């Protein structure tokens, strides 16, 4: 087995792992929602869990695309296709992150402003 075949196999394995993460995550999210039906927060919990699974799966799929494109066929056309795929998947990842957490990925470490004590203003 030569270098290119090994890289192609590794890329396919990471692709399969990404698809499996999304599929298993969807199944786990669906079973988890059945337990939460009585509490009333089933929909929100389902969306968050499913979104996290999709995010992780997308990251693995992007990694596999990068490995296969850069290591196996690094010509201008394949790199351009990779750039388009990465842009689309990055947009999807950002959108999912916003849906799950309510913040853009670069706002995660942001702390909410502490409320001022009653009767005090910022100028005193």
35-61 pLDDT, tens digit per residue, is: 777 777 788 888 888 988 998 998 899
Contact 33, 46 (CB under 8 A): yes
Total number of residues shown for the chain? 124
Can you tell me the distance from the alpha carbon of 37 to that of 27, in angstroms, rounded to the nearest whole number? 16
Conformational region of residue 119, where left means phi above 0, alpha means psi within -120 to 50, and beta covers everything else: left
Could you give the angle at which helices 3-36 and 42-71 cross, rounded to 10 degrees? 180
Quote the pTM value: 0.72
Q: What is the pLDDT of residues 74-107, one digit of tens each?
A: 788 888 888 898 888 888 888 888 887 777 777 7
């Amino acid at each position: 087995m030569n270098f290119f075949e090994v890289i192609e196999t590794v890329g396919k394995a990471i692709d399969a792992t990404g698809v499996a993460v999304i599929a298993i995550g969807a199944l786990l999210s669906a079973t988890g929602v059945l337990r939460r039906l009585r509490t009333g927060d089933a929909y929100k919990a389902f969306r968050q869990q499913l979104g996290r699974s999709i995010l992780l799966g997308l990251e693995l799929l992007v990694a596999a695309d990068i490995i296969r494109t850069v290591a196996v066929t690094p010509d201008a056309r394949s790199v351009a296709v990779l750039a388009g795929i990465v842009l689309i998947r990055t947009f999807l990842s950002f959108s999912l992150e916003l849906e799950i957490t309510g913040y853009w990925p670069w706002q995660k470490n942001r702390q909410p402003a502490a409320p001022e004590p009653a009767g005090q203003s910022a100028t005193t």
